Amino acid sequence: MRRLPDRGRVDHDQRVAFSWDGRAVEGLRGDTLASALLASGVLVLGSSVLMSRPRGIVGDGVTDPHAFAQVGAGDRTEPLMRMHEVEAHDGLVAESRLHQGILPTGPDPDRFEKRHAHADVVVAGAGPAGLAAALAAAEQGARVILADDHPQLGGSLLGEELLLDDRPAHEWARHVEDALRAHPDVLVLPRTTVVNVGDQGAVALVERVSEHVAPEHRHGRALRRLWQVRTRELVVATGATERSLVFADNDRPGVMLAGGVRGLLHRYGLVPERCVVFTANDSAYRTAIDLVGAGVEVPCVVDVRPDPTGPLAERARALGIAVRAASAVIGTDGDAEGALAGVRVVALDGGAEEVVACDVLAVSGGWDPLMDLHHHVGGRARWDAERLCFVPDGTVPGVHLAGSAAGVFGTEACRRDGHLVGLVAAEATGHGSAADGPDAPAARDAAEAPPADFVVTPGTDPVHAFVDQHRDVTIAGVERALGSGIRHVEHLKRYTLVGTGTEQGRTAKVNAGRMAADRFALPFAEVGVSNARPPAQPVTFGALAGRALGERFDPVRTTSIHPWHVAHGAVFEDVGQWKRPWYFPQAGEDMDAAVLRECRAVREGVGMMDASTLGKIDVKGADAGEFLDRLYTGVMSTLKPGRARYGVMCKADGMVMDDGVVLRLAEDRFLATTTTGGAAGVLDWMEDFLQTEWPDLDVWLTSVTEQWATVAIVGPKAREVMAALAPQLDVRQDAFKFMQLEEAVVAGIEARVARISFSGELAFEISVPMTWGLALWEAVFAAGQPFGITPYGTESMHVLRAEKGYFIVGQETDGTVTPLDLGLDWMVADKEFVGRRSLRRSDMLRDDRKQLVGILPAERLPEGAQLVDDADFEIPVPMIGHVTSSYDSAALGRPFGLALVRRGRDRIGETIYAPLQHGTVAVEIVDPVLFDQEGARRDG
Amino acid sequence: MFQIRCPYCGPRDEPEFKYGGQAHVAYPADPEALSDEEWARFLFFRDNSKGRYAERWNHAAGCRRWFNVVRDTGTHELVGSYRVGEQPEAAR
Amino acid sequence: MDPNEHALHNAPFLWRSPEPKASYEAVVVGGGLHGLATAYYLAKNHGMTDIAVVERGWIGNGNAVRNTTIIRSNYLWDESAAMYEHALKLWEGWTDELDYEILFSQRGVLNLAHNLHDVRESVRRVEANRLNGVDAEWLDADQVREFCPIIDVSPDARYPVMGATLQRRAGIARHDAVIFALGRACDALGVDIIQGCEVTGIDVVDGRVTGLQTSKGRIGAGRVGLVAAGRTSLLTAMAGFDVPIQSHPLQALVSEVYEQVLNCVVMSNAVHVYVSQAHKGELVMGAGIDAFNSYAQRGGLHVIEEQMAAGMQLFPHFSRARVLRTWGGIVDVCPDASPIVGLTPVENLYVNCGWGTGGFKATPGSGWVMAHTIATGEPHELNRPFSLTRFETGELIDEHGAAAVAH
Amino acid sequence: MADRTAPLAAMEDRIAAAAFPGAALAAVPFVAQVGIRLDPAGPAAARVAEALGLPLPEANRVSASGGRRALWLGPDEWLVVAADGEERALVGILEDAIGADGAVVDLSANRTGLELSGPLSRDVLATCCSLDLHPRAFGPGRCAQTLVQKAGVLIEQRDADTFLLLVRPSFAAYVAEWLVDGMAGLAADLAAV
Ligand SMILES: Cc1cc2nc3c(=O)[nH]c(=O)nc-3n(C[C@H](O)[C@H](O)[C@H](O)COP(=O)(O)OP(=O)(O)OC[C@H]3O[C@@H](n4cnc5c(N)ncnc54)[C@H](O)[C@@H]3O)c2cc1C
Ligand SMILES: NC(=O)c1ccc[n+]([C@@H]2O[C@H](COP(=O)([O-])OP(=O)(O)OC[C@H]3O[C@@H](n4cnc5c(N)ncnc54)[C@H](O)[C@@H]3O)[C@@H](O)[C@H]2O)c1
Ligand SMILES: Cc1cc2nc3c(=O)[nH]c(=O)nc-3n(C[C@H](O)[C@H](O)[C@H](O)COP(=O)(O)O)c2cc1C
Ligand SMILES: [Zn+2]
């Protein structure tokens, strides 16, 4: 196409240089990639997906079925960018790839941001309707966000030559924009697409923040920003899109949408040499008129209607444009490259084909209100047989449609509609009254003649006439599908792929549906089109992820002692969001060696562990004991102040949910501890029962998990270390018994000390405010030096507890294990507690349930290994259980483990087998308590 | 993403809340008196109706209160919220 | 050349659209994949031809067109493994048997493990699978990288990949093609597929089903199978009993079309990702379930945002891939995440539901056992454990805890 | 004897460096915080108000007097905030006032502070928090428990442009990370215009 020096909204003095398919190309500031290529004579963009036919630019908007390119270089390369949206700039690199893009191979160097915002009214689209709506709502005092996907506001006003109030319409747009920007509570967002509408006014927008400048000029700015807006009302003023007509070789580069051709002229000053117009409605006459006004030759307007007599047709005739009524384009001819050279026109009542030479054919099949955002929240549409388009069928609460999106087609009518809708939306948010609001501007648009119901030129070659150009679906393809018995457009879509392309078939779907209606002899209103889904325009994964990458993806929780662990070479284990020291390898040690050393230290000397991640819940009130009795399987109310008791909780289905030690701090106060991963869930669970089932109980719950850091000193020498740390504390066995707690000053810090043991060894757990945790830890470490105190991690903790047969929630249990299965009969008290009833269901009473046992395998087994009865078996073989824990024991000098085994407790002493891939291992079933069965060691 | 009105804190975004399923299902007063079938109904069976539905939410990231909401499961319309102990008619 | 010869679907005829007869020997309610497969096997395995599938919309319009098409059989519990493995074996023959290209591609499914707990449970599942005759392997992080080079397995990732289970026989199929294939196969066997026919009432006389009230009038039926996924509760309410399912939105999405970069299916429980690249080149990803009950076939965008952030952990270079389309299905979730297939309190009325987020893979197996149940009035050995009564006894098949993501 | 450690000690430099003409961030490592639970209709409410010398505020509000502030957390829950070191005295006063009619818990180590100030502080929060902070909806003397991304926070608006965020120490680095990153983005925007 040719550039007119004095037309368009581009800066004719500012050239930009970029690369297309490796070639240097120039454009003007204000060009898009599409317009710059057209201006540079690039007509053929590439070839089609299935049939390898040459394809070119079809429109001037994002519904264009071909205008996609691979843009950017290296890790910034982005597939299938909308060429009409990509702003030409120096250094832009683009490549022809219309249908299948290439993903970069490295991480994204650019930044994608998110921003939350709140509004009374969000207006999507800044054409006459959206601008008027935003202004009306803003003047009523509402908080308004106006978003439009173009760099400049004005919508179709920028692609037309129109007057509003006898002024050029784009000047009116500028004036409104200025007025809006002057409002403190209005946010104007150009280059911003409203992509998703959710419930209760959750609206997502994607702003192209720095995409239009070369990477080296972005300076840390986001490439794009996803706005997450909560609005009370949404005004959808997204305009309408033009659809095509179907005839042979309608996919040739040069066959364009009439509105697009007009847009290229007014936005970019681009014109064809000789342009034929083919239409079923009045709007395309504007293209003919405007082109002639720009000095372009328009040999004829081919109009399918028998008698086009509207004011626009009259004006065209007055300009000397031939109007060929009751005629249609039946095919096109191409040049050597395959681009358009001429069109073949026929009279609809018969007669010979006539070839008219042209380089552009401007087609208009009609206009489809763009209602995607209304559809996102379940808004319906109905076919309007007069306007020949879908129009909204009622609205969803909080979502309004305005202007062409609502089926209003006159420019002034759109502005008036927008104004009225803006007032209604503002009123709905308590701002002003629509009835008493400022008067709506008049709508004096010239009347248009009715459009014709026309899709396919009769007699055209079905094999080369395209319904969905992006997916290469032809009339023949649609016919084949319909011939196979398909009776529904959703099946038609899935059989032919109509409407499933990158642009979601926005120019194609209505035509496909109308062809189906024809074929079934059904009213199109019944047949409809395949549905629309979010997003309104595709959104990159990166934009949806935003800044939730790396350490911002998910919190990494650490205790106040963590820096010490890091400094001392700990290897960490993820437990929920927490990082816990897994083991502390010394030089040259692997994990097994480190764990053996740590365990030995605890059994023979003294070890120390950071137990701060355990959940802690302060339970206060006169009924605190009663409350805990109802939740734990055991009895807590009989506990004496200053004493602690171990407890297990079940879900209502009787399965073990969590466990921990409960300490009675005072007559009316308990501290319940939970597993690290279970902390939040247990508190929620407790609050649930307290608030909804037993609101009459005098109990108050407070999470104090992070108030307290806890250091455990464990091993035969723990008492000496404790004594050194807290000289005033009487640590002798008689004074400080197992499951007792004391307030004490430890290393100068006020602390709570409890004798709790998860290893079977003598142990003291010291708790201090979290901010004192590291100080305490360092003091313990220092005080323990004479005794060779050894920090240990979760792995050693697991080995030590397993030697004692203690289970771990989530390791020995998986939501299918009851306290009885774990052998905790002694803890299931004879009183009501949540889940108790479930333990009486027939399946729970079966005598072949899986039970927790100890195992002594011939070699160390992988955790998760399955167990079978016989060494000789054939697959499939019944499994009688599995290994839940498996370690090498320093204390036992051999591998051992825990397992859930069918009828396991009755089978102690028997041998079963673990069939591993390299061979089957014999496993002896033993009592789960393998070390210090008498429990002598816990008192030191 | 819903915006849910906490009866105590006001309207907040859905991620602040935890869903609790059907409202007004009390833990049986005397579980031991129930047959296996009756107990199973309490454990596992909840209304799954289309239309207005009374359900529980917990304002987990806010005031930690459990409360009830009437919501249309067909359209996602949130009719209103009300406190524990109140009946669905109180939803606003 | 006819351009549409490239098209995937190439059957000259699919199915008739008959009006319903006054009555049928058996009627299957729900024209999803399970309903169609049920009808297909009723006709094929049990010789019943006086049968109809009634579908309120168009066949497939439920979860059939909405699922991410992952097919695998590596479930933990014996009952599940048996059911899904039976299905997988049938999948392996379906393209030939149905004479329709359903693009079943056994490209392998990786279930990633990100922490010690995952590793333990993964090994447990692999071992159980092996002993149940289901192919399964445990890969360490290096082997994962070798198998699927584009996964970020760096050890300092927020959720490092510590290994994965691999089922090589697992993969994906083209869900749309399966609908067309089954619809055609049913029709060819004489099954009436009645679309646009919503069941609005169930006639029960003396505890026995006699027919259905529908938007196309009454249809008499000797036996009825309810195979309506997320809408099952609405149907069983018509027959006077409940099923313990809750219907939730489950969302999924596709990207635009890219050159192939992902050679297998990747799933991760801990970071909530499951992704594959379909034949045309679009990435297909599933999001997490929305917490609440809903029949609206849509969920919240925040669920998808979370999903994308998780996806970027594993595939940092998907940053410039674009979400083309998102949608939601209504999944029927059972308390134990296992289906209910079998008898109901009403005689001659059978139910098949509760497949939740993972029933696509079960399609042939589900149809097989449901057809057996309807035809014989007794559950097949494979679905006997999946009874409605298990909730009373507590004999659940709890696939939550241990079975990785259920898709 | 070693001293207490500030939860965000390791991030101090990054927090300071995040400042730009629109906003600045500072850690407030130690804040005396005491949790109160009581029935506002019961007898303890008035006793507590008197003992503290300030009323227990209504929903989403803060009441302040003499260096102490009471922040509403829920219908029967408040957090009394004061200068570091006052927690012991506060617990004493409050326990006396409440007696058996509620609960008092020292939570001074359970949360740590981050102060965000400057004309763009609202925008910084908007990068990671969905709460509506517009003057029509929020303002000095208001507080709310909400989320910064996935982490719970208690936000108090101190004056026209200053917010105090109280967060669990294990989430503090994560929250700070989000704020610092949001500030970087806004700083880049500011530099570009
Ligand atoms: C997003 C998403 C991703 C998924 N991903 C996977 C996956 O990767 N792998 C996997 O194995 N599974 C997956 N699933 C699950 C899988 O899709 C379902 O389990 C499976 O499709 C269920 O099949 P169905 O035939 O029972 O249900 P549907 O296909 O939903 O069929 C039920 C049919 O019943 C009809 N019906 C309902 N009520 C009536 C009535 N009153 N009258 C007449 N007809 C009625 C419905 O219209 C519908 O067509 C996914 C599901 C979703 C939503
Ligand atoms: N028959 C006809 O002649 C005919 C038909 C249709 C439209 N029109 C003319 O078009 C104009 C319609 O005015 P209007 O205000 O309704 O629409 P408009 O087309 O002028 O403006 C809509 C704006 O919204 C933008 N947009 C679309 N989707 C968006 C999204 N999701 N997010 C952000 N922005 C989005 C568009 O790019 C455009 O800039 C009138 O001038 C009318 O006369 C004429
Ligand atoms: C595996 C798979 C691949 C898909 N590929 C595409 C695609 O390439 N283009 C497209 O528009 N939609 C694609 N879809 C989505 C469907 O268009 C549609 O959204 C989905 O079937 C749900 O139906 P609904 O959106 O009509 O409710 C795909 C869906 C699935 C399950
Ligand atoms: Zn609240």
pLDDT value at residue C4 = 41
Q: Do B32 and A691 touch (CB under 8 A)?
A: no
Nearest to A228 by CA among A203, A192, A198: A203
Q: Which ligand is nearest to the CA of A208?
A: 2
The pLDDT tens digits of the residues spanning A337-373 come to 999 999 999 999 988 999 999 999 999 999 999 999 9
Residue of B nearest to A376 (CA): B75
Q: Do domains A2-105+245-364 and A615-703 have the same CATH topology?
A: no
In the predicted model, what is the mean pLDDT of chain A?
96
pLDDT value at residue A49 = 86
Could you tell me which CATH class the domain A563-612+707-800 is placed in? alpha beta
**Chain-centre distance for alpha carbon A179:** 36
Say yes or no: CB of residue C61 within 6 Å of ligand 1: yes
Q: How many CB contacts within 8 angstroms connect chain B with chain C?
A: 59
pLDDT value at residue A940 = 86
Mutate-to-test residue for ligand 3 from C61, C66, C253, C363, highest number of ligand atoms within 8 A of CB = C66
pLDDT value at residue C11 = 75
Say yes or no: CB of residue C66 within 6 Å of ligand 3: yes
The number of beta carbons lying within 10 Å of the beta carbon of residue D172 is 27
Residue of A nearest to C316 (CA): A107
Q: Tokens 């040069």 — which residue?
A: A254
Query: How many Cα neighbours within 13 Å face the side chain of A288?
Result: 31
Q: Do B65 and D73 touch (CB under 8 A)?
A: no
Instruction: Indicate the CATH number of B3-24+46-90 among 3.40.50.10170, 3.30.2270.10, 3.40.50.1780, 3.40.50.2300.
Output: 3.30.2270.10
Nearest to A418 by CA among A180, A202, A151, A160: A180
In tens digits, chain D (193 residues) has pLDDT values of 579 999 999 999 999 999 999 999 999 999 999 999 999 999 999 999 999 999 999 999 999 999 999 999 999 999 999 999 999 999 999 999 999 999 999 999 999 999 999 999 999 999 999 999 999 999 999 999 999 999 999 999 999 999 999 999 999 999 999 999 999 999 999 999 7
Report yes or no: C46 and C372 within 8 Å, Cβ to Cβ: yes
The pLDDT tens digits of the residues spanning A31-84 come to 999 999 999 999 999 999 889 999 999 998 888 999 999 999 999 999 999 999
Tokens of A255: 């066959």
Q: What is the DSSP letter of A532?
A: P
Cα(A159) to centroid of ligand 2, in Å?
Answer: 10
Q: Is C300 on the interface with A (CB under 8 A)?
A: yes
Q: Do A652 and B66 touch (CB under 8 A)?
A: no
Q: Which residues of A touch C392 (CB under 8 A)?
A: 841-842
pLDDT value at residue C401 = 61
pLDDT value at residue C8 = 60
Query: For the domain A458-527, what is the CATH code?
Result: 1.10.10.1100
Q: Do A700 and D3 touch (CB under 8 A)?
A: no
Say yes or no: CB of residue C177 within 6 Å of ligand 3: no
pLDDT value at residue C269 = 83
Please give the Cα distance from B90 to B73 (Å, whole number). Answer: 19
Report yes or no: C33 and C232 within 8 Å, Cβ to Cβ: no
Does residue A180 have a pLDDT over 50?
yes
Please give the Cα distance from A769 to A772 (Å, whole number). Answer: 5
The pLDDT tens digits of the residues spanning B33-86 come to 999 999 999 999 999 999 999 999 999 999 999 999 999 999 999 999 999 999
In chain A, % of residues over pLDDT 90: 96
Instruction: Indicate the CATH number of A847-938 among 2.40.30.110, 1.10.10.10, 3.10.129.10, 1.10.3720.10.
Output: 2.40.30.110
Q: Which ligand is nearest to the CA of D74?
A: 4
A635-644 LR contacts (CB < 8 Å, sep 24+): A635/A829, A635/A831, A636/A662, A636/A664, A636/A670, A639/A664, A639/A670, A640/A664, A641/A665, A641/A666, A641/A667, A642/A740, A642/A741, A642/A742, A643/A739, A643/A740, A643/A741, A644/A739, A644/A740, A644/A741, A644/A754, A644/A756
pLDDT value at residue C26 = 98
Point out which residues pair with A935 in neighbouring strands: none
The domain ranges of chain B are 3-24+46-90
Domains of chain D: 9-29+110-192 (3.30.1360.120), 31-106 (3.30.70.1520)
Strands A322-324 and A300-303 come out as: parallel
pLDDT value at residue A62 = 83
What are the phi and psi torsion angles at A850 (to 5°)? -75, 135
> Best interface-test mutation with B: which of C248, C295, C336 has the largest number of B CBs within 10 A?
C295
Among A202, A485, A884, select the one facing C17 at the smallest CB separation.
A485
Please give the Cα distance from A712 to A776 (Å, whole number). Answer: 11
Cα-Cα-Cα-Cα torsion A142, A148, A151, A152, nearest 10 degrees, comes to -60
The domain ranges of chain A are 2-105+245-364, 113-242+367-447, 458-527, 563-612+707-800, 615-703, 847-938
- Other chains touching C, judged by 3 or more CB pairs under 8 Å: A, B
Report yes or no: A243 and A510 within 8 Å, Cβ to Cβ: yes
Below-70 pLDDT ranges, chain C: 1-10, 401-407
Interface of B with C in 33-72 (CB under 8 A): 36-37, 39-40, 43-46, 48-50, 53, 55, 71
Q: Where are the beta strands (DSSP E) in A280-424?
A: 300-303, 322-324, 327-334, 340-347, 354-357, 360-364, 366-369, 381-384, 389-392, 399-401
Among B8, B16, B63, select the one facing D147 at the smallest CB separation.
B16
SS (H, E, C) chain C: CCHHHHCCCCCCCCCCCCCCCCEEEEEEECCCHHHHHHHHHHHHHHCCCCEEEECCCCCCCCHHHCCCCEECCCCCCHHHHHHHHHHHHHHHHHHHHHCCCCCCECCCEEEEECCHHHHHHHHHHHHHHHHCCCCCEEEEHHHHHHHCCCCCCCCCCCCCCCEEEEECCCEECCHHHHHHHHHHHHHHCCCEEECCCCEEEEEEECCEEEEEEECCEEEEEEEEEECCHHHHHHHHHHHCCCCCCEEEEEEEEEEEEECCCCCCEEEECCCCEEEEECCCCEEEEEEEECCCCCCCCCCCHHHHHHHHHHHHHHCHHHCCCEEEEEEEEEEEECCCCCCEEEECCCECEEEEECCHHHCHHHHHHHHHHHHHHHHHCCCCCCCHHHCCCHHHHCCCCCCCCCCCCCC
Report yes or no: A396 and A199 within 8 Å, Cβ to Cβ: no
- Other chains touching B, judged by 3 or more CB pairs under 8 Å: A, C, D
Instruction: Indicate the CATH number of A113-242+367-447 among 3.55.40.20, 3.50.50.60, 3.40.640.10, 3.40.930.10.
Output: 3.50.50.60
Closest residue by Cα to atom 28, ligand 3, is C254
Instruction: Indicate the CATH number of A2-105+245-364 among 3.50.50.60, 3.40.50.720, 3.90.1010.10, 3.80.10.10.
Output: 3.50.50.60
Cα(D44) to centroid of ligand 2, in Å?
Answer: 62
Q: Find out if CATH 3.30.70.1400 is the number for domain A615-703.
A: yes
pLDDT value at residue C270 = 79
Cα(A463) to centroid of ligand 3, in Å?
Answer: 26
Q: Which residues of C touch B76 (CB under 8 A)?
A: 294, 296, 298
Nearest to A3 by CA among A264, A274, A256: A264
pLDDT value at residue C287 = 83
Q: Is D177 on the interface with A (CB under 8 A)?
A: yes
Does residue A885 have a pLDDT over 60?
yes
The pLDDT tens digits of the residues spanning A226-239 come to 999 999 999 999 99
